[in-house]
């Protein structure tokens, strides 16, 4: 089996995700910078570029001034809205048919969008019921990287937009009502950024289970 280029996952998902990588490559191969018109188009879809550190460090700083500790939730919700809207767009644009194609396109778009690489861990178990669970790392998360590069010490995980984005994607792509929580983050000194995505009523329990399994505090 041919290896994937942009997602790290279990061998059985490789044949499903491979064609999506090709489709996404094609979508992102038509980039037009049109500064005379103030526009940036990818396959005729308008995108806007932000510097990663403006979108992570400075967005949070300003939100904290307005909503205090609610900033984390606000960033998470914004990420979730973006992920959901992007999923709906790409399901149609790339004509994604099966459930695994629709879900699998998320990590591929994530890589092309510059958010992070997605590396699925073996606990991931995609089902229709309350057993549904995703466990994954985000190597190279732009949010953690921004804080590390700025040498800002953090006590809590900072990748809330990325966390929200994945929850939003599975909802927009597949109608799954799940929420994500980051349980380890490079910005606070952990070796990786690790996430648990599960039905909201089981999220705390799942977080506890995965933290214990990987010996995370
Ligand atoms: Zn992180």
How much is the mean pLDDT over the chain?
A: 96
Read off the pTM: 0.95
CA of residue 195 to ligand 1 center, whole Å: 9
CA of residue 7 to ligand 1 center, whole Å: 17
Residue 1 is predicted with a pLDDT of 58
CA of residue 65 to ligand 1 center, whole Å: 22
Pairing of strands 118-120, 7-8: parallel
CA of residue 121 to ligand 1 center, whole Å: 16
CA of residue 29 to ligand 1 center, whole Å: 29
**Pick from 56, 83, 95, 75: nearest CA to 166:** 83
Task: State the Cα torsion 96-112-73-66 to the nearest 10°.
Answer: -130
pLDDT digits (tens, 9 = 90+) for 126-165: 998 999 999 999 999 999 999 999 999 999 999 999 999 9
Neighbour count for residue 215 (Cβ, 10 Å)? 6
Instruction: Name the strand (E) or helix (H) holding 15.
Output: helix 14-28
Angle at 171 between CA 178 and CA 49, to 5 degrees: 110
pLDDT digits (tens, 9 = 90+) for 49-78: 999 999 999 999 999 999 999 999 999 999
């Amino acid at each position: 089996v041919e290896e994937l280029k942009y997602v790290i996952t279990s061998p059985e998902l490789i044949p499903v995700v491979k064609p999506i990588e090709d489709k996404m490559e094609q979508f992102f191969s038509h980039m037009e910078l049109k500064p005379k018109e103030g526009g940036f188009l990818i396959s005729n879809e308008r995108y806007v570029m932000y510097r990663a550190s403006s979108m992570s460090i400075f967005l949070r700083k300003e939100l904290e001034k307005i909503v205090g500790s609610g900033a984390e939730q606000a960033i998470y919700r914004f990420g979730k809205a973006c992920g959901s809207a992007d999923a709906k767009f790409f399901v149609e644009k790339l004509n994604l048919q099966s459930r695994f194609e629709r879900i699998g396109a998320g990590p591929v778009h994530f890589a092309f969008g510059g958010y992070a690489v997605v590396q699925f861990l073996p606990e991931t178990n995609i089902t229709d019921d309350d057993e549904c669970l995703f466990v994954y790392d985000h190597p190279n998360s732009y949010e953690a990287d921004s804080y590390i590069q700025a040498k800002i010490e953090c006590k809590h995980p900072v990748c809330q937009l990325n966390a929200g984005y994945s929850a939003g994607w599975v909802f927009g792509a597949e109608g799954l009502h799940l929420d994500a929580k980051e349980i380890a983050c490079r910005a606070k000194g952990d070796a990786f950024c690790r996430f648990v995505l599960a039905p909201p009523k089981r999220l705390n329990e799942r977080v506890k289970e995965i933290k214990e399994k990987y010996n995370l505090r």
